[in-house]
Amino acid sequence: MKRPVKASVKDEKLIEIRRNQIIRGAVTLFKEKGFHRTTTREIAKAAGFSIGTLYEYIRTKEDVLYLVCDNIYDGVKEKLSEMDVNGGTISQLKQAIAYYFHLMDELQEEVLVMYQEAKSLSKDAIPYVLQKEMEMVDMFQVLLRNCVRSGEIELDEQQIYVTANDIFVQGQMWAFRRWAFQRRYTIEEYIELQTELVCHGIECKRGKVKHGNLSTKA
Amino acid sequence: MKRPVKASVKDEKLIEIRRNQIIRGAVTLFKEKGFHRTTTREIAKAAGFSIGTLYEYIRTKEDVLYLVCDNIYDGVKEKLSEMDVNGGTISQLKQAIAYYFHLMDELQEEVLVMYQEAKSLSKDAIPYVLQKEMEMVDMFQVLLRNCVRSGEIELDEQQIYVTANDIFVQGQMWAFRRWAFQRRYTIEEYIELQTELVCHGIECKRGKVKHGNLSTKA
Amino acid sequence: MKRPVKASVKDEKLIEIRRNQIIRGAVTLFKEKGFHRTTTREIAKAAGFSIGTLYEYIRTKEDVLYLVCDNIYDGVKEKLSEMDVNGGTISQLKQAIAYYFHLMDELQEEVLVMYQEAKSLSKDAIPYVLQKEMEMVDMFQVLLRNCVRSGEIELDEQQIYVTANDIFVQGQMWAFRRWAFQRRYTIEEYIELQTELVCHGIECKRGKVKHGNLSTKA
Amino acid sequence: MKRPVKASVKDEKLIEIRRNQIIRGAVTLFKEKGFHRTTTREIAKAAGFSIGTLYEYIRTKEDVLYLVCDNIYDGVKEKLSEMDVNGGTISQLKQAIAYYFHLMDELQEEVLVMYQEAKSLSKDAIPYVLQKEMEMVDMFQVLLRNCVRSGEIELDEQQIYVTANDIFVQGQMWAFRRWAFQRRYTIEEYIELQTELVCHGIECKRGKVKHGNLSTKA
DNA sequence: GATGAATGAGTATTCATTCAT
DNA sequence: GATGAATGAATACTCATTCAT
C-alpha cells in the first residue's frame, strides 16, 4: 500500500523519527512557498539537520513530496476512519459529512499543499496517492449505500459514486476555494448549506422531506 | 480588469500578435510538462522566435503563466457568455449546465493547466484570475436566480451562491478528477448524473419530484 | 571521424574560438591536477569566461576531456603527417622516428594528460580516440612496409605491426617514464639508443649492417 | 621500503588481515569503475565491514589506492623473483621474458588498474611505487648483463638499461593496448613476436642470425 | 575494535534574464 | 524590433571523513 522510499540508514526506528522531522519541516515550507520553490537545504534545515543527513533518509527531493502527501492522506484517512460508517440513517450521514468537513477545515493548509503539489509527484508515485483518495471516497460510498439499504434515501450505484465524489470534493473546496467561501461563511454555515443541498435531492422519498432545523426555507 | 504585462515594444498590434504566439506555444508546453519544468527558451522556440524577442513582450517567466491563465479564462468566459442566461426555466438551467460541462470536456487540458499552475502566479496576479472565476460563477448565480424568480426552483441567496460554486467546480472535476470519472462515464452520462443530483434538491417544489431512472427531464 | 560535441551556440566560428579557449585552459589544468580534480568552474575561468558560457559550448564535463584529447591527437597527427613516409630507406625511417620522438618530447605534457586521463572518457568516446592512435601507428607501418619493399629491411606483416606499435609506445615512454629516462639521457641520446635497438634486428639482412655513427658495436 | 599507512588499531596481525580484505575488495572495484568513481562506502562494503572500520585501518581514501598499487607490485615482483636470473644464455632470457609476459597476461586487470590509477597517488606515495618498478626493471638488467657477460649478446650499459625498460613496458603493453593486440594475437604469439624483435638486434653477434618465420628459437 | 549516523564542503549543471550588435 | 551569446546565482545531490555509542 505504501510506495517504499529508500533510506541509507538501517535503524527503522530512527528512520521513522527523522522522516517525521522531515515531513513536519517540509509541510511548513510547502505551505509557504510550494514544493518547487523550496530548497532541499531549507528542508534539511527545517527538519533540524544537515543536508547530508536529509539525504540519508530520502533519495530525491521528490521523495519528500511523496512523504508529505502520503502523510497528509494518512492523517486524513485515519481521522476519517473514526467516523461511524455502519449505521444507515440520514442523520448519521449528515454527521459524517460534518465530521469530514470539520477535518478539512482543520487540515486546510495540508489539503492545499496536497492539492496543489501532488501533480509534481512522479508518475510512479501517483497511483499510491490516488489509491488513498479512492479509499476515502469509498467511505462515503459505504455510508450512502447503507442509507439506501435502510430505505432512507434513494440512489442507484452510479449516483452513489458521483455523490460520494461530490461530497469529497466539496470538503476540499472549503480549503481550495477559501477565497470564495471563508469570507462569507463559517465552517458551520458551509456545512449546513452543503449538507442541505446534497441531502435534498436524496432523502425526499415519499415527499416526507423534513430536514430538521437546517434549511427550513421550504 | 486586466493586469498589465509590460512590453518593451510599442506597436500594440504586434504585441497582440506576439503574445498570442507566446500563449499558443506555452499552453502546449505547460500541458506537457507543467510551468516549472518548462524553460523560457522552450517557450520562445515554441512561439517561433528567439529568447531575446520573448523578453521584448514579457518581463518575467511568470508573465507568461499569467498570459496563459488569463487567456484560458477568457476563452472559457467567452464561450460561456454565449449561453442563454435570461430565461428562468429548469430546462434552460439544465441546458446551461450541459453546455458548460461540454466546454470543460473540450478544454480539459487547459482547465488542468490553469488548475495546477495558477498557484504559481505571483500574489499580485491572483486577484485578476479569481475575479474571472467569480464572474463565471456569477453567471450560474444569475441563471439560478432567474429560476427562483420564475418559481421553478426554490433556493435562498446563500444556497444560490453555494450551488453556483458547486456547479462550477463539478464542471472542473470532470477534468481534474478524470482518473475517477472518465473511465466510468462518457461526458453525457456525467452531465446527466450531476444535473440530476443538483436539480433534485432544487426543483422539488410541490412534491412533483419524480426521479425514476436517471434523467427525468421533467 | 569526429565525435560531435553539441553546443547551444549556433555560430560555428565562435564555437571554434571558444572551444580553443576551453582546450587551452583545460590542458593547463589537467596537466596540473588531472581531470577529476579539475572543476568545471576552474575550466571556465581558465578559458576566460563564466560557467554559464562554458556550458553553451559543451554538454558535460567529459566533453571537455574529449575535446582536449581529440585536440592533442590532432596536434600530434598533424605534425606527424609532415613526415616523409614514402621513401623506403632505413635512413628515412630513422629520420621519421627521430622526428616523432622529438615531437613527443615537445608535447610531453599533453601526451601525459592524454595518457593518464583518456581512460576517463565515456565508452562512446573511446573508439574515436583509439581510431586516431591507430592512424598514427599506421604511419609507422607504411614506413616499415616501404623499407621492406625496397629490400632494406626484412619483416613480415605481423612483425611490422608489432614494431610499429613498439615505436609508437617508445615515443610515449619518453613522456610517461620520464622519471626513468630524462635524468639519464637527453632526447637525442634516447632517440639514438632506441633507434639503434629497433633497427638492429631489422636491417641486418646480408650482414651489411652499417648504421652510421650511432652504435658501431656490430 | 614501504610507505607506512597509519592505522588506529594496534594489533598488527589484525591490521594485516583487514588490509588484505580492503585490498581484495578495492581491486575488484577499481577494475570495474576506477579509483575516482569508487566510493569509500563501496570499498568498506566490498571488504566486508563498515565504513567506520575501514577508517580504523586507513587514513584517507588515497591510502587504499596506495595499498592496492603496492600490493599489485608486490604480487608481480614476488612472482617475477621466481625467475631464474642467474644463467647467462639467450634461451634463459627468452624464458624470462615469456614468464614475465605470461604474468602480465594473468594480471592484466591489475596491471591496468595500477597503470591508470597510479597517477592519482599523492606526490609522497609515488617514489615508493616507482622504486618497485625500478626493481623489476633491474631484474631484466641483471638478466641482460649476464648474457652480455657470457658473450651471448652484445650490449653496452645504456643499451641494457633501455632494453630492460622496453621489455618491461612491452609486457605491460599487452594489457594496456589490449585493444590493439588481443584481437590479433594470442599471448603466445605476442611473446614470440616481441621476443624475436628484441633478441634479433641483440644476439646477432657473428652474423649467425637466422630469423626464418617467426620463432627460430636458435 | 566495530559500527553507522551525522556532517557539510564540494560539484556538475540549469536557466531566467540582460544587452551589445 | 530581433537576435542569441553571455552571465552567474541557484540547486540537487554526493561522498570522504568523524565520532559518539
Shortest-distance nucleotide from A56 CA to C1': E5
Using 70 as the pLDDT threshold, list the residues of chain C that sit under it.
201, 203-218
Q: What is the pLDDT of residue B210?
A: 42
Each residue's pLDDT tens digit, D130-145: 999 999 999 999 999 9
Whether A204 and B199 lie within 8 Å, measured CB to CB: no
Sequence-distant (6+) residues with CB within 8 A of D38 are D26, D29, D30, D32
Whether the CB of C131 is less than 7 Å away from nucleic strand F comes out as: no
CA of D71 to C1' of F18 (A): 28
- For C31, the closest chain D residue by CA position comes to D119
Which residue gives the smallest C-alpha to C1' distance to F9? C52
CA of B52 to C1' of E20 (A): 12
pLDDT band at D209 (very low <50, low <70, confident <90, very high): very low
Residues 18-77 of A with CB under 7 A from strand F: 37-41, 51-52, 55, 59-62
pLDDT band at A203 (very low <50, low <70, confident <90, very high): low
What is the C-alpha to C-alpha distance for residues C191 and D72, in angstroms, rounded to an integer? 31
Please give the mean pLDDT across all residues of chain A.
90
Q: What is the pLDDT of residue A208?
A: 44
Q: What is the number of residues in chain A?
A: 218
Each residue's pLDDT tens digit, B156-203: 999 999 999 999 999 999 999 999 999 999 999 999 999 999 887 676
Which residue gives the smallest C-alpha to C1' distance to E18? B52
Whether C165 and D154 lie within 8 Å, measured CB to CB: no
On whether the CB atoms of residues C99 and C83 are closer than 8 A, the answer is yes
Q: At what angle do helices B187-203 and B157-176 cross, to 10 degrees?
A: 170
Each residue's pLDDT tens digit, B104-127: 999 999 999 988 899 899 988 999
Each residue's pLDDT tens digit, B122-143: 988 999 999 999 999 999 999 9
On whether the CB atoms of residues D34 and D55 are closer than 8 A, the answer is no
* Alpha carbon separation from A171 to A97, B79, B155, B167, B181 (Å, rounded): 8, 29, 21, 15, 18
Contacts with B167 from chain A: Cβ below 8 Å = none
Q: What is the pLDDT of residue D208?
A: 43
CA-nearest of D43, D62, D39, D65 to D53 is: D43
Q: What is the pLDDT of residue D88?
A: 85
Residues 30-59 of C with CB under 7 A from strand F: 49-53, 55-56
Residues 32-51 of B with CB under 7 A from strand F: 49-51
Q: What is the pLDDT of residue C203?
A: 67
CA-nearest of D158, B196, A19 to A27 is: A19
Q: What is the pLDDT of residue D194?
A: 96
Shortest-distance nucleotide from A50 CA to C1': E7
Closest in D116, D193, D201 to C197, CB measured: D201
Q: What is the pLDDT of residue B207?
A: 46
Contacts with B130 from chain A: Cβ below 8 Å = 179-180
Each residue's pLDDT tens digit, B14-25: 999 999 999 999
Shortest-distance nucleotide from A39 CA to C1': F11
* Residue among B128, B141, B155, B197 with most chain A CBs within 10 A, to mutate: B197
- For C181, the closest chain D residue by CA position comes to D162
Whether B197 and A159 lie within 8 Å, measured CB to CB: yes
Mean pLDDT of A3-28: 96
Whether B179 and A130 lie within 8 Å, measured CB to CB: yes
Where in chain B is CATH 1.10.357.10?
A: 69-206
Mean pLDDT of D151-179: 95
Q: Which CATH class is domain C69-206?
A: mainly alpha
pLDDT at A85 over 80: no
CA of C43 to C1' of E13 (A): 14
Whether the CB of B10 is less than 7 Å away from nucleic strand F comes out as: yes
Closest in B120, B169, B211 to A169, CB measured: B169
What is the C-alpha to C-alpha distance for residues C113 and C72, in angstroms, rounded to an integer? 9
Each residue's pLDDT tens digit, D54-102: 999 999 999 999 999 999 999 998 888 888 777 789 999 999 999 999 9
pLDDT band at D46 (very low <50, low <70, confident <90, very high): very high
pLDDT at D207 over 50: no
Strand residues in C93-198 grouped as ranges (E): none
What is the C-alpha to C-alpha distance for residues B46 and B40, in angstroms, rounded to an integer? 10
Which helix (H) or strand (E) covers residue A174, if one does?
A: helix A157-176
* Alpha carbon separation from B150 to B144, B145, B154, B201 (Å, rounded): 10, 9, 10, 17
C-alpha cell at position B42:
522552450
* Alpha carbon separation from D113 to A126, C111, D71, D127 (Å, rounded): 45, 19, 12, 18
On whether the CB atoms of residues B96 and B140 are closer than 8 A, the answer is yes
On whether the CB atoms of residues B66 and B3 are closer than 8 A, the answer is yes
Which helix (H) or strand (E) covers residue A186, if one does?
A: none
Q: Tell me how close the Cα of B201 comes to any Cα of chain A, in angstroms.
A: 4
pLDDT band at B4 (very low <50, low <70, confident <90, very high): confident
Contacts with C173 from chain D: Cβ below 8 Å = 165, 169
Each residue's pLDDT tens digit, D95-109: 999 999 999 999 999
Each residue's pLDDT tens digit, B61-116: 999 999 999 999 999 988 888 887 777 899 999 999 999 999 999 999 999 998 88
CA of B47 to C1' of F5 (A): 20
Q: What is the pLDDT of residue D83?
A: 81
Each residue's pLDDT tens digit, C35-62: 999 999 999 999 999 999 999 999 999 9
CA angle A183, A185, A188 (to 5 degrees): 145
The SS3 call for residue B86 is coil
pLDDT at D193 over 50: yes
Q: Which CATH class is domain C12-64?
A: mainly alpha
* CA trace torsion B76, B79, B80, B84 (10° rounding): 180
Q: What is the pLDDT of residue A215?
A: 40
Where in chain D is CATH 1.10.10.60?
A: 12-64
Q: Which of left, alpha, beta for B214 (phi over 0: left; psi -120 to 50: alpha)?
A: beta
